[in-house]
Amino acid sequence: MSRPVTLFTGQFADIPLEELAAKAASWGYDGLELACWGDHVDVDKAAVSKKYAQSRVDLLAQYGLKVFAISNHLAGQLVADPNTDARSDAFAPPSCHGKPEAKRKFAIKSMKNAARAARNIGVNVVNGFTGSPIWHMLYSFPPVSEEMIEDGFKRFADLWNPILDVFDECKVRFALEVHPTEIAFDIITAQRALKALNNRKAFGFNFDPSHLQWQMVDPVKFLRVFAKRIYHVHMKDAAVTLDGERGILGSHLNFGTPGRGWDFRSLGRGDVDFEAIIRELNVMDYRGPLSVEWEDAAMDREFGAAEACRFLRDLDFPRSDRVFDEAFA
């Protein structure tokens, strides 16, 4: 049996949930991964009101869809970030703007409530970001000591362990989308993040090959290294388009700018080897959803979301229960 194909609603959060559910059903999706912004899920309400939480499930059911996960990326970013950057003010209520610790306090409460909301909605995975106290130290100049990096991972663990305690209480797992600007952005840092948390089971990964691809990290190798920690899977493509003039860091050019050194693409239109990923997921016996996180600045999003669903339907295949030449016997 093939895996459910779902749509992450984060890039469609400006569309009311009922309207989006009708569209997603017409595009052929099995369900949605609900973003915790827009009107899709209010985690504070869903954490305390089972009636409200059930209303999300019932609304989708009207269109033949299920909820497979919820995602609270924006609040999660504020947990471990320094929060001194005004860009992240938009991730918190106006009363927190310009106040780093107020943003952090809001974020910690939101992430704890995300676990409670997931429990009430009936899903066992919350996807999201963690933020990072040390991302701004990525390039080691001015010089960065190993102690600074170690302190950053300890700070991450000190902030996230109490949140993960609530995830344990709710029997829900947190899946970090390994991503630049997070505490884990490649295989090495993902291993280090797990170690900082003493490998507690509540913490794993939302696999997204696009963020690895443009960094030249092998997505299939990531799956092999963390086979037991892949709690959810995003499907998103990326293309490296270096031309000798613009670099891999993006050159301060916005997504979709012609000549940018890399960019996200609609599924099947970039460099990601999705068949290799499906084969590795079969080896792992991953049976969860394949969730389309659709991003392509050069394509209409509704056209792209519909095309991405068809792409995955054609690509995904169940693992074999035998070796083909056994039939010769």
pLDDT tens-digit map of 36-86: 998 999 999 999 999 999 999 999 999 999 999 999 999 999 999 999 999
The answer to whether the CB of 78 falls within 8 A of the CB of 106 is yes
Q: Report the CATH number that the domain containing residue 129 is assigned in CATH.
A: 3.20.20.150
**Domains in the chain: how many in total?**
1
Q: How far apart are CA 245 and CA 100, in angstroms?
A: 37
Task: Please tell me the predicted confidence (pLDDT) of residue 317.
Answer: 85
Q: What is the DSSP letter of 178?
A: -
281 phi and psi angles, rounded to 5 deg: -60, -35
Task: Please tell me the predicted confidence (pLDDT) of residue 328.
Answer: 65
* pLDDT beneath 50: ranges in the chain: none
Strand 237-240 to 262-265 pairing: antiparallel
Write down how long the chain is.
Answer: 329
Q: Which two tokens stand for residue 72?
A: 């609270």
The answer to whether the CB of 63 falls within 8 A of the CB of 22 is yes
| Residue range of the domain that includes 199 | 5-328
Task: Please tell me the predicted confidence (pLDDT) of residue 121.
Answer: 98
Task: Please tell me the predicted confidence (pLDDT) of residue 204.
Answer: 98
- Provide the greatest CA pair distance for the chain: 72
Contacts of 123 by beta carbon, 8 Å cutoff, 6+ apart: 67, 68, 69, 70, 172
Task: Please tell me the predicted confidence (pLDDT) of residue 324.
Answer: 67
230 phi and psi angles, rounded to 5 deg: -85, 100
Instruction: Go through 178-201 and write b for each residue having 16 or more CB atoms within 10 A of its CB, e for each that does not.
Output: bbeebbbbbbebbebbbebbeebe
pLDDT tens-place string over residues 93-116: 999 999 999 999 999 999 999 999
Task: Please tell me the predicted confidence (pLDDT) of residue 329.
Answer: 66
